[in-house]
Every structure is written in structure tokens, then in C-alpha cells.
Amino acid sequence: EAQVTQNPRYLITVTGKKLTVTCSQNMNHEYMSWYRQDPGLGLRQIYYSMNVEVTDKGDVPEGYKVSRKEKRNFPLILESPSPNQTSLYFCASSLTPGGPYQPQHFGDGTRLSIL
């Protein structure tokens, strides 16, 4: 089954404790992206990757890191989480961004709470 898998699905942690949200896709997609969703703000892109070893900042990259060492994985790293990073996070992938018949496949989301 074609899917984007995020882990964990839920996490409650404390300020300053480094955490990683993993994202893996099994569709051989070139493009991967991370978003955060907050009430009243819609989705905001954090980082995206057009291909292996190529990553670019989205609209809200501050406080986050990513890496794309292999095509299938695109982890999101919070080195020193703060309460304003409490949010619902989505990972997505597609063959190319916006291509015809190539919709972004989204993961099920990760609910992060930073106390």
C-alpha cells in the first residue's frame, strides 16, 4: 500500500528536550515536505526537499532542522523544542510538486505538545 508514515503520532514532551519526528514514504517520490497546522492559520510549510541531499526552507523554518540522506526518509528535528512549536505536523510526498496526476500524499499527522 502506498503511504507516508509518520512517527510518533502523538508526543508530549518538555521544553528543550531534543526530539525527532520520522517520515518515510514507499512510493519512490522525489519531493517531500513538512507542514505544521495551527488553528486559524491553515498549513504552513516548514521545509521541503526536491531530491536527496537537497533541502530548502519553507515559510516557517525557525527552530527546525531536516535531512534528506536517502530518498524515502525525511525526518524533522526539533533541537530545543519550545511551547510555540506545539502543533499538528504533517509530512507529505509526491513524485514532483504539483505535477499532473501526482498529488501530494500526506501522512496521518503528528500531534506534538511541548510543555
Partner 1 sequence: AQTVTQSQPEMSVQEAETVTLSCTYDTSESNYYLFWYKQPPSRQMILVIRQEAYKQQNATENRFSVNFQKAAKSFSLKISDSQLGDTAMYFCAFMKQGKFYFGSGTKLNVKP
Residues near partner 1, by CB under 8 A? 31, 33, 35, 40-45, 48, 50, 56, 58-59, 88, 90, 92, 97-98, 100, 103-104, 106, 108-109
Strands 10-13 and 110-114: parallel
Residue closer to partner 1 by CB (options 14, 27) is 27
Residue closer to partner 1 by CB (options 62, 98) is 98
Q: How far is the CB of 21 from partner 1 (least distance, A)?
A: 15
Q: How far is the CB of 78 from partner 1 (least distance, A)?
A: 21
Cα dihedral sign, 93-54-72-63: negative
Separation of alpha carbons 36 and 21, rounded Å: 12
Q: How far is the CB of 18 from partner 1 (least distance, A)?
A: 26
Cis? peptide before 61, omega within 30° of 0: no
Task: Measure CA of the first residue to CA of the last residue in the chain; give whole Å.
Answer: 36
